[in-house]
Amino acid sequence: MWFLSMAGVDNLDAKVRSSAKEQKTNLEISLVLDVSGSTGSNNRLVNLKVAAKEFVDILLADIEPDSVSISIIPFNSNTAPSPNLFNALNVDVIHNFTTCLDFTDTSFAKAALNPATQQNQAVFTSYYGGFQSPHLASSSCNDREYFQILPYASDVPTLHTKIDSLKAAGNTAGHIGMKWGLSLRDPVFQPVVDDLIDDGDVVPGLTRLPASYDDAETSKIVAMMSDGANTTEFRIGDQYDSGPSNLFEVSTGVLDAAGQPTKHFYLRSADELQYYSITDGVWITQTDYVNLNTTLAQFQGKRQMDWPEAWGQMSTSYYRNIMNDSGPSNDFLSGTARNGWEANPLMLDSCEAAANQGVTVYTIGFEMNPSAAETLRDCASTVSHFYDANGTQISEVFSAIATSILKLKLSS
């Protein structure tokens, strides 16, 4: 300009064009929520429900249709897929009581839960409880509807209803919750989403889900809240999870009050010389059992149950008390159960798999002591993606995470 000024040119126009706009990013979110028994104290679950619904409201306000999907993954001693989600997978079905899966240790290091690969169904039973009356808090799988995964929802009423239905029971198996939360974000689940759409569980507008990891228009998020350290994931080991059991079912033509055929159950002693009549509460001889076809009114038949079916009928403590055999109870509690020190590294494996695929992980320690919160802090994408919360402050934390997810992105 100094030289141009001598020619009478005092200024030049600079032709620059710039703009700022909000990216129309699709969001795929897994909301992984602790519903273990401890969340029922100190109003934790009450405060969580308020916070989670506000989180949903923020994320689904003024959005393009079907641009945001939220899956709710409750976890306690395990995590239960909904029946249609379970049926959309390739599962080696060994009983019809519950839908939980039994993941191998190595599977936690993978983001995907491949629906084409056969999965193991977790054997269902409980530590406490009687015959045909499992104790919810000590069971290996709580799959009542309010504990089941809600996959790929995109409307506020459905998500609010699910959140309001949550109840507190059981242990804390956060590694299972994180595994499911990440699996629902993996693109290998696209055939599963198609099946869920066919079943009417997911709206047709979400047929593109889950998007590819390299889809520039999609952000994948896992937001996990826990109120305590991982404890025990109850499991039955190889000795008691397959093959013929000691439980026998005897069918008759006598109808019960509901008009159904009456069934009698018998536990056979280890020496096979006696049978315990669960119906009558007495031991009978082998001869008496063999002769039931002539002594039991309207006798129709007998069958020996396999262990997975037998455990669905009785708790391990019930079996121990009748049979004087602590083997199954010991196995269920500690022999093959995953305790917290085993669960923590598996959860971190899943968090590392999330990082490798570009999935952003937020974690919340809700009224946790510092040592228990360490695993959640390590699981988060960065230190700033981990939050502490106490009391009603949980709402502020969820709102902050929702705002972070929706932050304005500028491009030029």
What per-residue confidence (pLDDT) applies to 99? 98
Two structure tokens written together for 147: 């504990």
- Band (51; pLDDT cuts 50, 70, 90): very high
Give percent of the chain with pLDDT exceeding 70.
93
Whether 11 has a pLDDT exceeding 60, the answer reads yes
What per-residue confidence (pLDDT) applies to 38? 96
Whether 108 has a pLDDT exceeding 60, the answer reads yes
What is the C-alpha R_g of the chain? 27
Q: Label the pairing between strands 26-34 and 244-255.
A: unpaired
Whether 277 has a pLDDT exceeding 70, the answer reads yes
What per-residue confidence (pLDDT) applies to 7? 53
What per-residue confidence (pLDDT) applies to 408? 42
Two structure tokens written together for 397: 């934390």
What per-residue confidence (pLDDT) applies to 62? 87
In sequence order, the 6+-apart residues with CB closer than 8 A to the CB of 131 are 265, 278, 313, 314, 318
- Give 148's DSSP letter: B
- Band (25; pLDDT cuts 50, 70, 90): confident
Q: What is the pLDDT of residues 197-247, one digit of tens each?
A: 999 999 999 999 999 999 999 999 999 999 999 999 999 988 899 999 999
Two structure tokens written together for 167: 């109840």
Report in angstroms the alpha-carbon separations of 175 from 230, 392, 406.
8, 26, 27
Whether 149 has a pLDDT exceeding 90, the answer reads yes
Whether 19 has a pLDDT exceeding 70, the answer reads no
The pTM for the full model equals: 0.91
Give percent of the chain with pLDDT exceeding 90.
87
Query: Comparing 54-58, 238-242, 347-351, 387-391, which segment has the lowest mean pLDDT?
Result: 238-242
- Band (14; pLDDT cuts 50, 70, 90): low
Whether 363 has a pLDDT exceeding 90, the answer reads yes
- HEC secondary structure over 47-69: HHHHHHHHHHHHHCCCCCCCCEE
Burial of 286 (0-12, 13-18, 19+ CB in 10 A): middle
Mean pLDDT of 325-334: 94
Sheet holding 261-268, edge to edge: 282-285, 274-277, 261-268, 244-255, 299-306
Q: Assess contact for 281 and 343: CB atoms under 8 A.
A: no
Closest among 286, 312, 277, 251 to 94, alpha carbons compared: 312
Sign of CA dihedral 365, 370, 374, 377: positive
Whether 16 has a pLDDT exceeding 80, the answer reads no
What per-residue confidence (pLDDT) applies to 411? 32
Report in angstroms the alpha-carbon separations of 98 from 95, 113, 139, 383.
8, 19, 11, 37
Whether 165 has a pLDDT exceeding 80, the answer reads yes
In sequence order, the 6+-apart residues with CB closer than 8 A to the CB of 2 are none
- Per-position DSSP letters for 275-341, written without gaps between them: EEETTTTEEEEHHHHHTHHHHSTTEEEEEEEEHHHHHTTB-HHHHHHHHT--HHHHIIIIIS-B-HH
- Band (5; pLDDT cuts 50, 70, 90): low
What per-residue confidence (pLDDT) applies to 24? 52
